Chains A and B, each alone.
Chain A
């Protein structure tokens, strides 16, 4: 149980939150991945790199969650 009134002390601010911008901005930079070559397992870079960004997203949100818990 937390005390009911710790006024002004609680916040969700943290420098770690800036990390959340990485997976928001990265997938929108189409010039990074808008081509066919190099292929990976037959996937054009347009597809495999965007799928790889999922891992970046998971990594960043997990890290922020752990560090601000």
Chain B
């Protein structure tokens, strides 16, 4: 423990600094009255290009990126690099979609994706399904942020769950008070720390290890010696399709997560979003370099920390690498970067989840005439409940298991794509068809995940997201991302279902949006807050 004193002191000081900022954030760009969802949950819907860049960047590039992706590179090689093409594809993919989402939400005062679905398809049932899907998919994602913080604490020799509970209690307190302003303000510090740490890492560590060439050679030597035929520093016949579908499927899923939309809706106009779609790839560059930390760990001969259960925890590989290569004080800075990098998204995710509950469950089913202040109150309380739930996830489940849950989360959230993303372009789908597609897609996804074993951890089911095409009787070792197939099932059923419900003349919902709503911009005098039902 004493070997880590300097690291611990630096880590704690930086952690306390951002916690202080979290509480002060309530006064930043201070509104007249923070007691409404527009203020507490969306920071006043008034963030410009810079704040949005930090905020959206802060919530897309999470502890998962800093901890799990390099860990995957460390153990599986090239496949883990899917995270890079994934973040290249995503911005052109959603460039037009998010601008439309912003406009229609701006005109109608939507706070969540389910709000949009409610108004577009005139179906409270479909909106409820979308809301629950979002909540379920977000929970394990928050829990994963805790895994990131735990990995750092473990490397500093701190075990047990008390520190993580304290950290989350502080996070919960300032999120309760400041709402979205807290993570938006902290994101500045987080990103500065991360840029400094990563730039130092990619210059300093390769220099110590004899250059990039020898890092890749060391990785190649390790994978050549391993018995697993699927690893290596390039792809092979069995995982190429998995790589492509994982990158594409993850890109489709990312902006369906309620928390990514939170950052987008908080921006002040369409231009801010489009500019950000061009500027956010600066993070992708960073992400590519972070992923390669996994190979650096191989070249440096880093060993992951062995957990209490006697098994090595690969999540600790990056913190362990920093511990080995950096002077103590800078390792402390690096740990703070990872820890704070986990807190920012956790705060945004809990706010988004709370907004979903308030808007699409509380206001829809429990208190139809809720005032702005009541909505804000409920959201604040639910944000606390969500965090307690995430902590319980970690305390009761094996963290290794929660990473599998995250993969399942991606498969789940993808099933909202036809209603949310395609809904922005077309009203062709019948609400019944969308509900049927959602149900079949989810069913197919769960069935596939159930069939995926994980030889490394010895589990027979829910062992990852790479579905073997051999399950369909093909004579092949090829694998594919389960979410991708599940989405295909969803779309086919939604199309067939739409034809069927039309043929049976089942009444469809009423569309409360009009064509022009999708192109509205800042300054248009059309903002009608809380207009969900199309009573005009």
Contacts and interface: CB of A to CB of B under 8 A. Distances in A.
B36 interface: no
Given A20-B95, A34-B240, A44 B85 contact: no
Contact of A50 (B271, B275, B288, B523): B288
B521 A2 contact: yes
Chain B CB within 10 A, most for which of A5, A54, A62: A54
Interface of chain A, main secondary structure: helix
Interface in A4-62: 4-8, 10-12, 17, 20-24, 27-28, 30, 34-36, 39, 41-44, 46-47, 50-51, 53-54, 56-58, 60-62
Please tell me the size bucket of the interface on B.
35 or more
A24 B92 contact: yes
Contact of A42 (B215, B243, B518): B215
Nearest to B210: A42
Interface stretch (B26-34, B278-286, B333-341): B278-286
A10 B107 CA distance: 15
A61 B91 contact: yes
B420 interface: no
A47 B523 CA distance: 44
A17 B91 CA distance: 13
A39 B284 CA distance: 21
Given A57-B92, A65-B274, A46 B240 contact: no
Contacts of A24: 89, 92-93
B85 A27 contact: yes
B277 A61 contact: yes
A58 B524 contact: no
A20 to B, nearest CB: 4
B284 A30 contact: no
Interface string B174-218: 000000000000000000000000000000000000011111100
Contacts of A2: 521, 523-524
B436 interface: no
Nearest to B233: A44
B48 to A, nearest CB: 16
A51 B96 contact: no
Contacts of B81: 46-47, 50
A11 B425 CA distance: 12
Contacts of B278: 58, 61-62, 65
Contacts of B519: 10-12
Given A54-B285, A57-B88, A69-B271, A42 B234 contact: no
Contact of A65 (B212, B277, B518): B277
B142 interface: no
Contacts of A4: 524-526
A68 B498 CA distance: 34
B212 A42 contact: yes
B516 interface: yes
A65 to B, nearest CB: 5
B378 interface: no
B243 A30 contact: yes
A17 B519 CA distance: 16
A44 B88 contact: no
Interface in B265-300: 271, 274-275, 277-279, 281, 284-285, 288, 292
A54 B89 CA distance: 9
Nearest to B97: A12
Contact of B88 (A10, A11, A43, A54): A54
Given A30-B240, A54-B288, A46 B233 contact: yes
Interface string B118-147: 000000000000000000000000000000
A23 B89 CA distance: 6
Contacts of B100: 12
A47 B89 CA distance: 16
Nearest to A6: B516
A45 to B, nearest CB: 9
Contacts of B233: 36, 44, 46
Given A39-B213, A54-B285, A64 B525 contact: no
Given A27-B85, A54-B285, A57-B92, A8 B515 contact: yes
Interface in B520-536: 521, 523-526
Contacts of B247: 27-28
A2 B254 CA distance: 33
Given A54-B281, A65-B95, 7 more contacts: A2-B521, A2-B524, A12-B99, A23-B88, A36-B216, A47-B288, A58-B281
Interface of A: 1-2, 4-8, 10-12, 17, 20-24, 27-28, 30, 34-36, 39, 41-44, 46-47, 50-51, 53-54, 56-58, 60-62, 64-65, 69
16 contacts: A2-B523, A12-B519, A21-B92, A22-B92, A24-B92, A27-B84, A27-B85, A36-B216, A36-B233, A39-B213, A42-B213, A46-B78, A47-B216, A50-B88, A57-B281, A61-B91
Q: What 3 A-B pairs have minimum CB-CB distances, sorted nearest first?
A: A42-B213, A42-B212, A27-B85
